[in-house]
Amino acid sequence: MAKLYIFTKKGRSEYNLVDHNVIGRHPKNRIKILEAGISKVHCLIASEENQTFSIRDLGSRNGTYINGTRLKGKMFLKDGDEIKMGHTLCLFREQMEARRVKWRDDDKDAIRETILHKVAPQQMNKFFPETNIIDEEMLRADYERLRISFELQRDIGFDLHVDFILGRVLDRAFEVLAFDQGVVLLLDPQGAFAIHAYKTKTLGDELIISRTLADLVADDGQGVVLMNPNPSAGREAPEFIETPVQTTLAVPILDEHDLQGVIILDRWAAYHPYREKDLNLLSNVANKTALFMRNSQIAKSVTRESLERERFRKILSPEMAEMVVAGQLKVDLEGKQHAATLLMVNMIDFNAQTGALDPEGLIEFLNQYYDHLVGVVFRHEGMIDQYLGDRILVVWGVPQPHEDDPLRAVTAAVEMQQMMEAINQQRQNDNLPLLEIGIGVATGTVVAGSLGSQKTRRYSIVGELVNDVQAICASARSEQVLISEKTFQMVQKLFDIDEAHTLQLRDRAVKCFEIIGEQEGRPAQPWSYLG
């Protein structure tokens, strides 16, 4: 992961960089630096393609300097770039190189021999009632656990990026459990440990991680204090010893009983070894970390569902959109062929109807016009594929097929023309020009999938059928509903239909038929709507 190191009079702080990192004095910024020479919203470091990062100034008063040169526009950051804002110096470091990490495979029995204390993290989720507190040390321990929890919550706020959260966890742990090296390992989908956050006392130190210790803590589900054997220290590890030793805290990150990862803190040459109270404190931090991670996952899931619901509600009826979000209706984003019926509506003489409108009036007019049409589409469970200026393209059969999709499409077209008659009656009363639409309907096959660039994709359809329905719609006169021959074959017993004309496209002829009206005695619509 890329990191930003910040050097102030108080010392060094570091942040794991995520996709969008606003820096400044404002408390809502992801990275907050309280210095008078820094603006409330000073600059932005953002992720780009190929795991690179860029930086740009956000109109700060004193500017942003990269390696001594004032930043103008956007600039891509390189490993080791120095960033200066006000009197604060920052250092950008790219993704940690493999040579700076040494994974060590130790003897498991030898590690067990160095264990001084154990604790189950679940024990740290409990606070004693006031009547059960028997001495000041218990009270101080509870206070410290609450203080760290409060500080972490204030640091993290509502941030949803797990790596950012883990970086703040190590920063707070360093304040109370000063270490030479700290790492947070999370399980990847294959069940192996991966580094998601790290902090070293000396910048640029190599990370030395015992894979065996991580596995042992994960398997046992307990936190441990380790101290290398030292004759002068004894088994109980007093607060101070004459000969420095390596001492380690390692605790599992457990969400209920599900292992998420492990936190390991090391002191390489300590005169003050870690003790049981330190293990209890780090176990409490691990419990809070698991809670933050779970909240992040829940919030991301809710946000993703909300965005997905909003996206599909723009093209599907609310009921069908809910089915997609719930997983009851599958949308094949990778591309799949579908039998489909398309409908296209075109406003006749659009420029004459709207030429006198200002831009705001034009958009308001079109949105009102679309609202009327979309209501009909959703009532018959069609999907809005595209808005094309004064035209609208609708599809039946994607993503939810029905046996009577052609009937639904033609019925919707007839209702649109009937609805336009009612709208024009009102416009005539208001001395407004009448609206005229022509509609084309065609049945065949399309390919549906996620189309566009990686940054701006949308679910849509392609195929010759799209060209056919465009041509049919373009040839439809005011108040006409024209259908293709295949659509005619599937609805001819339900509507009065006349043969219209044949369109000559570049490579084929398309025969058109005109819907005159519904046949008398036609049964009620045979489908029942969702919901």
The CATH number covering residue 458 comes to: 3.30.70.1230
Q: Decide which of 386 and 152 is more confident.
A: 386
Is there a domain that residue 328 lies in?
yes
What is the CATH number for 170? 3.30.450.40
* Helices 136-156, 276-313: crossing angle, 10 deg rounding: 30
| Shared-domain flag, residues 8 and 147 | no
The residue range of the domain holding 206 is: 101-300
| Shared-domain flag, residues 203 and 289 | yes
395 CA to centre of own chain = 28
Is there a domain that residue 447 lies in?
yes
| Shared-domain flag, residues 16 and 58 | yes
| Shared-domain flag, residues 250 and 389 | no
Query: Does the pLDDT value for residue 499 go beyond 80?
Result: yes
pLDDT value of residue 328: 62
Q: What is the pTM of this model?
A: 0.58
| Shared-domain flag, residues 67 and 126 | no
Query: Does the pLDDT value for residue 229 go beyond 60?
Result: no
Q: Count how many domains the chain has.
A: 3
DSSP states of 336-382: EEEEEEEEEEEETTHHHHHTT--HHHHHHHHHHHHHHHHHHHHHTT-
Is there a domain that residue 288 lies in?
yes
Q: Rounded mean pLDDT of 129-140?
A: 68
| Shared-domain flag, residues 80 and 108 | no
pLDDT value of residue 527: 46
Is there a domain that residue 401 lies in?
yes
| Shared-domain flag, residues 18 and 109 | no
- Would you give the end-to-end CA distance of the chain in angstroms? 46
Is there a domain that residue 16 lies in?
yes
Is there a domain that residue 378 lies in?
yes
Q: Please write the tens of the pLDDT for every residue from 45-77.
A: 999 877 789 999 999 999 999 999 999 999 999
| Shared-domain flag, residues 233 and 346 | no
pLDDT band, residue 230 (cuts 50/70/90): very low
| Shared-domain flag, residues 411 and 465 | yes
pLDDT value of residue 264: 95
CA angle 351, 357, 360 (to 5 degrees): 120
Q: Decide which of 2 and 445 is more confident.
A: 445
Is there a domain that residue 526 lies in?
no
Is there a domain that residue 78 lies in?
yes
| Shared-domain flag, residues 238 and 171 | yes
| Shared-domain flag, residues 105 and 85 | no
| Shared-domain flag, residues 277 and 337 | no
CA angle 73, 74, 78 (to 5 degrees): 135
